Amino acid sequence: MYNSLTYITSLLNDLGLSPSLPTKDNYNSEYEGFCFQAKGLSFRSRRAKKTPKKCGYFVAFWEKDTNNKNTPYSFETFPDKLVISIIDGALSGQFIIPKKVLREKKILKDEEITGKMALRFYPSWETSLNKTAQATQKWQCDYFIDTTDNFQNETLEQLYFSSSYTNNKKP
């Protein structure tokens, strides 16, 4: 079992829930890729990796098209939310981002947007960032919860299950 699935299961158990129908993705196993459902919503999950030379955590998310080429996920077929888990020694947290925001940020493809196949995530504890990374962190942290120490289950539940909630704490 993936560490990120164990982590998600533990967090959802704290809310009296559990992920149902976890299914490994055919691609991106290096990032513990899987999909699951909870409380009527669908989620795609990845575990981001710390990289030695750059700040933040890197994650890939793509699928194969009909020509067997890597392609960004489509807005039309993407689950309700993307969950990016950060598990880094004593530090842990999650980005829980609605698919609507992923399209607005040009991460999911549609008729007008090319989309992206990988992204770097910057949790609130990342502080030595260049201006571009700071701008990315600013919007990402609206959808981030630091689970390292004490955190509010209400915030976690809102990020997972509300369609419009953002965690307005800025880094």
Each domain of the chain, given as residue ranges in start order, spans 3-161
**Res 168: pLDDT:** 64
User: What are the residues facing 75 on neighbouring strands?
Assistant: none
Helix (H/G/I), strand (E/B), else coil: 163: coil
What the block records as the tokens of 84 is 């990016």
Upper half-sphere CA count for residue 21 (Cβ side, 13 Å): 10
What is the rounded CA–CA span in Å between residue 144 and residue 85?
A: 10
Mean pLDDT of 155-164: 90
Reported as a single tens digit per residue, the pLDDT across 50-108 is 998 999 999 998 999 999 999 999 999 999 999 999 999 999 999 999 999 999 999 99
Residue 155 reports pLDDT greater than 50 = yes
Residues 124/167, Cβ–Cβ less than 8 Å: no
Calculate the CA 96 to chain-centre distance: 5
Reported as a single tens digit per residue, the pLDDT across 130-146 is 999 999 999 999 999 99
Mean pLDDT of 30-56: 95
Q: Is 17 exposed, middle or buried (0-12, 13-18, 19+ CB in 10 A)?
A: middle
Residues 165/158, Cβ–Cβ less than 8 Å: yes
Question: What CATH topology corresponds to 3-161?
Answer: Trna Endonuclease; Chain: A, domain 1 (3.40.1350)
What is the rounded CA–CA span in Å between residue 77 and residue 152?
A: 31
**Res 167: pLDDT:** 72
Residue 171: pLDDT band with limits 50, 70, 90: very low
Q: Determine what percent of the chain is predicted with pLDDT higher than 90.
A: 85
- For the chain, what is the largest distance between any 2 Cα atoms, rounded to a whole number of angstroms? 47
